[in-house]
A and B are shown apart, each in its own frame.
Chain A
Amino acid sequence: MTALLLRDLRLAIRAGGGFGLGLAFFLIVVVLVPFGVGPQSELLSRIAAGTLWIGALLACLLSLDRIFALDWEDGSLDLLATAPLPMEAIAAVKALAHWLTTGLPLVFAAPVLAILLNLPPAGYGPLVLSLLLGTPALSMIGTFGAALTVGLKRGGLLLSLLVLPLYVPTLIFGAEAARRGMDGFDTTTPMLMLAGITCGTIALLPFAAAAVLRVNLR
């Protein structure tokens, strides 16, 4: 399992691996928002937390189709399926690799980009914490979606259509926690819900993803 994780990380960092694409996309989305809504700093600081959450979510979505598609094309997925690793472990490790290469950098980039959006100082802690708790769920749900569409030629758009509704609860609780933190309210409930969703998805979705992968491989 470590071998698979290390390989995926190495592949992501090597040329053409797409590491950093998500970050660049995140930056662009955040830069575009003021162009869309206007430069008034009080307006921007009001929508900062939500914008950052949506930007992170979209940046995550962008890289989902790489999770299985490359392994599918070059035949490694067939070989992995016949290897001693259980399919559930493959799905979980793939999600972890995706989180480490996409989700975690987003968490670190968010406070920097928050400056651009004039986020109130009180909001930084809850924002980072909510992203840290929420992005693993985004990766895991996305892995399930990627497993669903792995055999399809032009699965990218379909993947977004399938995954985005599944992202709704995570987004609601994550952005809510960040917003409450920004306004100085108590963030315990949404944070706990967010952590609950993340734990739940990590516990259950590898099985769904593995079942779906087996169907797609046959």
Chain B
Amino acid sequence: MTLSVHNLSITRGGIRVLEQVSFVLAAGEALVLRGPNGIGKTTLLRTIAGLQPPLDGEISVAPDTLVYAGHADGLKSTLTVEENLSFWAQIFGQGDIAPAMDSFDLGALRTRPAGLLSAGQKRRLGLARLLVTGRAIWILDEPTVSLDTRAVEMFAQVIRTHLGQGGATLMATHIDLGLDQANTLDLTPFRASANQLDDFDEAFL
């Protein structure tokens, strides 16, 4: 249940943004990525989630242990809260959505179409999806956007429980969630030197 990243280099739009990124994320740990805008946090998370190939380096993780949550929540506005959530539960082969609803206090909203939710409520629903996947390693991109303080506390509690059950979390966020087990990784030292181009374009320069 370990995610280890070794000498990873990634590109965005054909330009190398980060290189030689290495870290190990063990069960029960949380790792928070930091760094200025545009350094490549989202790209790194998408690469680890398998949405784009790395330029170089290795990502080793057991199959079917990752779940990714990006900027968009992937909600269907005409489906109700319950329908949205149980869809993802079925996709990931899980049954019960009640614990996830309770953790994010969505019980009162269960029959409301997702299109009528506020931004914060949508985000809570998006995060509740993580609980119904049954996956151990959560890859989260700015999970606390548009959450109020109460909801952030709710989210921190969910993370604590998840880590306590042997899960792990890799996230990019600027908010301090007050997690005891959280390590921080600053990406600034990994910024690609002189913004190298990828191999092909390099051949001309």
Contacts and interface: CB of A to CB of B under 8 A. Distances in A.
Contacts of B69: 79
Nearest to A217: B51
Nearest to A2: B90
Most chain B CB within 10 A, of A2, A17, A217, A218, is at A218
A76 B74 contact: yes
Interface string B51-94: 11100000000001011111111111111000100011011110
A78 B78 contact: no
Interface residues of B, number: 29
B164 interface: no
Interface in B134-156: none
B54 to A, nearest CB: 11
A16 B113 CA distance: 13
A82 B76 contact: no
A3 B87 contact: yes
A15 B50 CA distance: 34
A121 interface: no
Most chain A CB within 10 A, of B72, B83, B93, is at B72
Contact of B91 (A11, A15, A77, A80): A80
A9 to B, nearest CB: 12
B90 A82 contact: no
B92 to A, nearest CB: 6
Nearest to A90: B91
A71 B87 CA distance: 14
B53 A74 contact: no
Contacts, number: 74
Contacts of B129: 79
Contacts of A17: 78
A217 B52 contact: yes
Contact of B51 (A10, A16, A82): A82
A208 interface: no
Most chain B CB within 10 A, of A2, A15, A79, is at A79
A74 B129 CA distance: 15
Contacts of A82: 49-51, 66-68
B87 A7 contact: yes
A10 B71 contact: no
A76 B50 CA distance: 15
A84 B93 contact: yes
A114 to B, nearest CB: 34
A4 B87 CA distance: 7
Contacts of A14: 78-79
Given A3-B87, A11-B79, A75 B74 contact: yes
B113 to A, nearest CB: 9
Nearest to B86: A3
Interface of A: 2-4, 7, 10-11, 14-17, 71, 73-85, 217-218
18 contacts: A4-B87, A7-B83, A11-B79, A14-B78, A14-B79, A16-B78, A73-B72, A74-B72, A74-B73, A74-B75, A76-B72, A79-B88, A80-B91, A82-B66, A83-B92, A84-B64, A217-B52, A218-B52
